Amino acid sequence: MRLTRYTDYALRVLMYLAAQPDQFCAISKISADYGISHNHLTKVVHDLGRLGFVQSLRGRNGGIQLARPASDITVGEVVRTTEDNFMMADCTNCVIVSGCGLNPVLQEATNAFLAVIDRYTLAELCQSGTAFMTLFPPHDAARPAT
C-alpha cells in the first residue's frame, strides 16, 4: 500500500504541530523546514482545518496549531480522512473478478494495515518532541507568521 503525497504532507504537518503543542506555527516555516511547496502545503493545511485537525490564528503572532491534543488523533484517523480510497488493485472491470480470490486477500491486508495505524497517535509519533524539532532550524523571530 502506498499513501498519497497529500496524506504524507498532512501527517508531516500534524507531527510538526504535535511536537510544539503550545505554539502557533507559520505555514511558511513548516514549508521551508520540510522543503515542501508553500502553495501545496497551504491547501493541505486548509483541508486539515476544515477536517478539524488544526486551528488557525490570524495576525502577527498567528499561525496554526493542533485543534485537539495529539494524543486524541490517531494516524489511522488522519489517513482515512485524507486518502480517497484503499483499493490495492482495480478489480472493477477485471474479467476474472467473479472467480478470483485476490480481492478478499487484499481487503484483509488493507484492514490489517489500518488496524496497525489505528493503534498510534500523533503524540506517540513525536514522543520526543524536543528531539524531533532539533531536526529543524530555530524559528526566526523577525519572520512574520502566515
The grid cell for 75 is 494516524
DSSP 121: B
Distance CA 63, CA 25 (A): 5
Answer positive or negative: Cα dihedral of 82, 87, 89, 94.
negative
* Length in residues, the chain: 146
Q: Going from the N-terminus, what domains does the chain have, and what CATH number goes with each?
A: 5-133 (1.10.10.10)
pLDDT in tens, 41-64: 999 999 999 999 999 988 887 899
Q: Give tens-digit pLDDT for 82-97.
A: 998 888 888 888 888 8
* Element spanning 99, H or E: none
Strand residues in the chain grouped as ranges (E): 54-57, 63-66
**Which helix (H) or strand (E) segment is 55 a member of?**
strand 54-57
Alpha-carbon distance 143 to 124, whole Å? 30
What pLDDT is attached to residue 139? Answer: 56
pTM: 0.85
Higher pLDDT, residue 145 or 17 = 17
Give me the pLDDT at residue 33, please: 92
> Which has more confidence, 58 or 144?
58
